[in-house]
Structure 1
């Protein structure tokens, strides 16, 4: 044969530029005619940075991020990257993404139920679209046999929940009733010792009780027997549990064990992401597709990093017009099934609820579809002229633009997806930790029926907790600028219109959806006047920066724990815990708890005792800490019952066995309260120093304004005497300040907040901390308001520090009695401290002329 006569194969000229890939697409039915501006900018920037291991692409809901992700995936395949994998949250979203690929003429492979849909992925000719569950389960074929050279994470803003599910063994009744009983029996002695056995029974038996968590020490003690129980139950062959068990089986002793209604969950307190090669290896390209986010602590917690670069093109997609109304602003009648029936006669209505239990409220107008029927029923709703669709605990992948639906009811605040989250949110009341996650869910919910710049819709906020959340400036600052303005415009509309019943609510909705010219003018002329207070935005920014650093430290901590590198793990949390406390003392308390576990694993029982006690105080005594830790030859009591809270704090420091341990604990005291006289300290640092001082004095010490966006800056509560003392920091005022009407009105608001939230407590007063000066003649303080200079608080702090040093100098055999004597002094009681700091009544200040 003469081979010289054969035609040579054409050179492979597959383009790498994703824009060029789009331009060469075939002309198919429903193929988009052109790329939007934001899509073009995102693809161009990614192409410039394609070699970088982590790239974040943020596009507003409705801005076409799926198309961007598909073109990126195809570009990586064209480059020759092996096993390019595109991950979605659910099977529905996998199919939806495949349909988008088909419109573009892009071939792909699906994997949703254990098999590939074709051989293209296996032969390197296409990328695979799959779920987070398929990629991250403990027996993943994709990770074992087709390790991805690149991963596109779609909906990265909600990825943490799905990755966490892969690390969670969930035993539920009635499917595993016997195993649940056996695990409960295993932990019963520990709950009984803590006096919490009735609470354990209630948590499991009642849907109305909050979850309860075993102490880390209890888990450590029974982890071997827990492993045997799980293995003997056949967990390795259980189709639902074997995947997550494979990720946890060697680290059960490092997990949280949480009991809830008919369930027990076993999961790490933080995600050990760097135990997964996909996040550990530097040769994997990771692309994160997300709705636009103001803050990224959830991204840090889900992926263990803040991707760089972060591509956030400016675009108007998703910035539709919204009328937002609040049911609690209407004094007569409720938003109920009768109202929805009336509304749905004219408009299709989407109702979003956080749980199936909440969906029961709406059973007279509809029932949520089963998972198997969800897609079909949603499509029927899209095509219908009227009706109601109930959406349960789902915030993404539901697109109802334009006339497919223009009315949505948000019924209550989103809730925790896992039992561990519910424990953190409901039992421990970790508000700031929860805030970013909730804000992302709210943003996504608003995008379900409002998908583009020329779209419009009406939203009704129903439920007290959701309404309060959206009315809180600190929380509102977490939302995108336009959505913040729309919320505030809705409240302004209520203020102006004084809507008194639900019939008026329907009239307003009808007017807006019929495109009443007066509404269009009002919206256009008013929306930009609804900006948020600059101070609230700056405070939220400051908090979230610290929360993001905390999230990164959590991942590094847990990954090191998974490797049993306890020293490295401990150092990760210790490096950020003081800054974390300034943002959120409850999150820092959660860190204290797991630092205690880490130190216990290191057999440093004295240091573990300190962390456990700090966690117990910061989490308002709502967690179970061990009564005693250590071995018989070397053990310490964590919470000696004979001591007062103040005695425990002092005893914890002065009874350290080694000089090194004492110095470390003593310096921790000094550094925690140093902000009171540091001239460079910010107001936030001063607030945290004052809160820490209250904590060392044995009080439940919190920062309500930081946590809730309302209430005083610092609150000391003595639960034994049922008394409290509040502080408002005014140290930012110059010398010889004037206390104006707004300062005093703020004080009245704080006192009312205390009356509502601490009804059984006696408030000893509200103390303004600042320089002595005058008050404006328009300011009318109450007799409960006082003023003191920071020097008074510094003197109390110095007296405490000096007392601790004196007690340490006493011989160990005499020290315990002296600690009790020192701590029992009347000057350390809340009434005694109040008499010191209530230096000058605000009413006695000289009035300006």
Structure 2
């Protein structure tokens, strides 16, 4: 007969533990898990004693510090306090299942949705934590309810909050792909308005150029919002619309819209998170975050107060976690040919551990796959990650695995990835961020988002305090971003220290001691082995360096205030409080640190004014566009200011340009970055910006009429008094292109007519078109003399420019004489007449 132990217990109801540390001691957890780590004890103690009643809270801890268990214990504490239901939200199903397994290991009661999509009763009753995904929670058909009808929740933990924010943004977005009915109908609807913004870009967009992007003018969008609703309503049951339709259908006039050659993206300026009351009205919202500094957009995405964002819960004693050896070869050798050699070398190897390369696009992956590496699709990613984790590396060597544009949501601990390559700057996936990057490239928010993606990528291979990995950083633009003092500040203190160590490794290497690239690569591999083979001197050097205090550049004191003010302005406009919105955005414009930012805020002001005073709105938009030529062209024509050669001494202009750089190394790095952008296959805007930079570097007066007024050529240089170079840039066309099309010829002819109308028919001008072919299609006919600059001629020009800059290393910029500049220009074939004679070719007419 069984013994009834219950009779032996004292009478009364057993009181549940509320302190999460005490709860952990009572859990029926797996024998394989030990006590709480010191960092977990610190965070849980501070939360329970100081922050448990905070309505909003951000917990910041580095990867591998045990955030998942912390979140689960906090929710268990809330359940034991009778403050359920409690919800744990992950970015995707993979991490949700990992969290469920983690909870089961520790004996914490959790539940998930059934196959019938029913909300578990034990969650509603406050007996178990519900684990789900952000996509399940944040969508227009959510089972948690919208508007007035919703499920009340006590505490929500949002794990990997930055990834979840992207999903929240997607919930408020509609993306329509080219080839679908809605895309084509909207394109037809706004064709006149888009043409007015730039006919050349519009033509590229219609021809499907991969990186063409335009914003539909806000005044056109609002004017035609009823037509937009009619079109979208026809397609509201298609997959791309149905999950957002109920959220957006009543606020379409207050949305922004961007169109590319592949898709249209529609989303609100202000994210009305209150449409998800289960989240908005939760008693406690806790965001789990890595130690990146760029979480200010949580204000604009979730409506958190700036005090919440600026005062996260952290463990101040935890300086760093895990070991990352950053190898940055391009600090010593920025030659693109050397970078290609590095990619080729590491692609051909077989490894006794997991090795992964993260690239921003499938096109970038070709550098690796052509040499034997394997590109893994999104569909096969989870399976391959599991293989890397479970492979017996003592028996099976593996090839390099390439992952495209996936910087988070992948855990590759220990031998799953001892060697990681992070190649090139990440791309922004949504059109809104891509547009913002183009029109306010120096803005803090965009730079912070990019730094976050990089930091997420760096964290893929080190998932715990005892984990270690070598990380090879490639791509001049990426290297410049992480080492430049203006952008380095956007990284966490831990990452900044690791970047400094990587810089020191290169300084200690000294490229001058190697007779060839092959010798340098052998040296790099020997240094990598010091980390992988656990060299004691390296481990001690890393620990000592990481423990050393680092000088962190403080953010602007008013930065959080600026972010919140922009959020408040958009919120007031959304609510119809136009005067208050205008006042707040004017305040922002007055504080803006540079003209591009001021113009950005004035464009928002013009949008706010549209409802009250269209004439005033147009005038404000003109002011905005004059400050920032990347912004929308108002419906009234903007006057064009002619380009004139103010300073007749080209060589002196070159010296003045050089004096902007305190050190030759900085000049060389910047020139190399711009020359990389000046390549076929690059985005048109980056190519044209680089060409403008090169023009100034070479002492010319430059302009970009098409960018300024959406008329005229892409680039214009005044090279002598009353003499010009006119450039049309077709950097995005396929290199296999056989001929210049009739459309492109007509576009160039129009630009020639514009030039004669503005500058006069007698003004001397040389006309060039950057394009991979010199043949003109049978249907096309240039009305003026035009020369072609193809790939081999462009590379010749770039090589001469780079050699010119390298030779400047021997001179003090402030003491240089114009005669020396002239001599160097002759030596490196960079005289004005060389452009026509050396770097361009005659066109070939197809008969």
Give the TM-score, by structure 1 length.
0.70
Deviation at 1:589, TM superposition (A): 2.8
- For structure 2, the residue ranges without an aligned partner over 5 or more in a row are 1-6, 512-516, 649-657, 675-689, 702-812, 817-847
Report the Cα distance in structure 2 between the residues aligned to 1:594 and 1:104, rounded to whole angstroms.
51
Q: Which residue pairs with 1:169 in the alignment? A: 174
Q: Could you give the per-residue CA deviations for residues 641-661 of structure 1, whole angstroms, max 9, x where no partner exists?
A: 4x356xxxxxxxxxxxxxxxx
Q: Which residue pairs with 1:88 in the alignment? A: 90
Q: Which residue pairs with 2:183 in the alignment? A: 180
The secondary structure found in structure 2 opposite 1:241 is: helix
Q: Which residue pairs with 1:460 in the alignment? A: 472
Given candidates 624, 632, 635, the residue that maps to 1:615 is: 624
Q: In the alignment, is the contact (CA less than 8 A) between 2:58 and 2:287 conserved in 1?
A: yes
Q: Could you give the per-residue CA deviations for residues 407-441 of structure 1, whole angstroms, max 9, x where no partner exists?
A: 10001112212111112224653553311112222
Q: Which residue pairs with 1:254 in the alignment? A: 254
Q: Could you give the per-residue CA deviations for residues 441-467 of structure 1, whole angstroms, max 9, x where no partner exists?
A: 222222221233332211100112111
Distance 1:361 1:842, change over 3 A: closer
Distance 1:21 1:426, change over 3 A: same
Deviation at 1:575, TM superposition (A): 3.1
Report the Cα distance in structure 2 between the residues aligned to 1:168 and 1:114, rounded to whole angstroms.
27
Q: Which residue pairs with 1:41 in the alignment? A: 42
**Alignment of 1:561 onto 2:561:** no
Distance 1:348 1:576, change over 3 A: same
Q: Could you give the per-residue CA deviations for residues 358-392 of structure 1, whole angstroms, max 9, x where no partner exists?
A: 33433344444444433222110112223233333
**Alignment of 1:392 onto 2:404:** yes
Given candidates 128, 150, 154, the residue that maps to 1:149 is: 154
Which deviates more, 408-417 or 560-569?
560-569
Deviation at 1:91, TM superposition (A): 1.4
Q: Could you give the per-residue CA deviations for residues 680-734 of structure 1, whole angstroms, max 9, x where no partner exists?
A: xxxxxxxxxxxxxxxxxxxxxxxxxxxxxxxxxxxxxxx7337799xxxxxxxxx
Q: In the alignment, is the contact (CA less than 8 A) between 1:255 and 1:266 conserved in 2?
A: yes
- Structure 1 residues 292-331: aligned runs within 5 Å: 292-304=291-303, 305-306=305-306, 308=308, 310-316=312-318, 319-328=321-330, 329-330=332-333
Report the Cα distance in structure 1 between the residues aligned to 2:577 and 2:497, rounded to whole angstroms.
48
The secondary structure found in structure 1 opposite 2:662 is: helix
**Alignment of 1:760 onto 2:766:** no
Q: Which residue pairs with 1:664 in the alignment? A: none
User: How large is the Cα RMSD of the aligned pairs?
Assistant: 3.4
Distance 1:531 1:124, change over 3 A: closer
Deviation at 1:185, TM superposition (A): 0.3
The secondary structure found in structure 1 opposite 2:59 is: strand
Deviation at 1:181, TM superposition (A): 0.8
Report the Cα distance in structure 2 between the residues aligned to 1:644 and 1:371, rounded to whole angstroms.
48
The secondary structure found in structure 1 opposite 2:287 is: strand
Q: Which residue pairs with 1:217 in the alignment? A: 219
Report the Cα distance in structure 2 between the residues aligned to 1:427 and 1:744, rounded to whole angstroms.
24
Report the Cα distance in structure 2 between the residues aligned to 1:211 and 1:8, rounded to whole angstroms.
72
Report the Cα distance in structure 1 between the residues aligned to 2:364 and 2:116, rounded to whole angstroms.
34
- Structure 1 residues 10-49: aligned runs within 5 Å: 10-11=12-13, 13-30=15-32, 32-48=33-49, 49=51
**Alignment of 1:376 onto 2:383:** yes
Report the Cα distance in structure 2 between the residues aligned to 1:598 and 1:617, rounded to whole angstroms.
19
Q: In the alignment, is the contact (CA less than 8 A) between 1:278 and 1:284 conserved in 2?
A: no
Q: In the alignment, is the contact (CA less than 8 A) between 2:294 and 2:452 conserved in 1?
A: no
Q: Which residue pairs with 2:563 in the alignment? A: 551
The secondary structure found in structure 2 opposite 1:100 is: helix
Q: Which residue pairs with 1:354 in the alignment? A: 360
The secondary structure found in structure 1 opposite 2:466 is: coil
Report the Cα distance in structure 2 between the residues aligned to 1:125 and 1:555, rounded to whole angstroms.
38
The secondary structure found in structure 1 opposite 2:610 is: helix
Deviation at 1:142, TM superposition (A): 1.0
- For structure 1, the residue ranges without an aligned partner over 5 or more in a row are 628-636, 646-718, 726-741, 767-840, 845-849
Q: In the alignment, is the contact (CA less than 8 A) between 1:395 and 1:441 conserved in 2?
A: yes
Report the Cα distance in structure 1 between the residues aligned to 2:205 and 2:647, rounded to whole angstroms.
30
Deviation at 1:291, TM superposition (A): 1.0
Paired residues, number: 646
Deviation at 1:68, TM superposition (A): 0.6
Deviation at 1:178, TM superposition (A): 2.1
Report the Cα distance in structure 2 between the residues aligned to 1:591 and 1:759, rounded to whole angstroms.
30
Q: In the alignment, is the contact (CA less than 8 A) between 1:592 and 1:611 conserved in 2?
A: yes
Report the Cα distance in structure 1 between the residues aligned to 2:659 and 2:647, rounded to whole angstroms.
21
Report the Cα distance in structure 2 between the residues aligned to 1:244 and 1:723, rounded to whole angstroms.
55
The secondary structure found in structure 2 opposite 1:611 is: helix
Report the Cα distance in structure 2 between the residues aligned to 1:267 and 1:572, rounded to whole angstroms.
22
Report the Cα distance in structure 2 between the residues aligned to 1:98 and 1:446, rounded to whole angstroms.
26
Q: Could you give the per-residue CA deviations for residues 823-849 of structure 1, whole angstroms, max 9, x where no partner exists?
A: xxxxxxxxxxxxxxxxxx9889xxxxx
Deviation at 1:25, TM superposition (A): 0.6
**Alignment of 1:473 onto 2:497:** no
The secondary structure found in structure 2 opposite 1:44 is: helix
Q: Which residue pairs with 1:56 in the alignment? A: 58
Report the Cα distance in structure 2 between the residues aligned to 1:94 and 1:524, rounded to whole angstroms.
34
Report the Cα distance in structure 1 between the residues aligned to 2:700 and 2:234, rounded to whole angstroms.
60
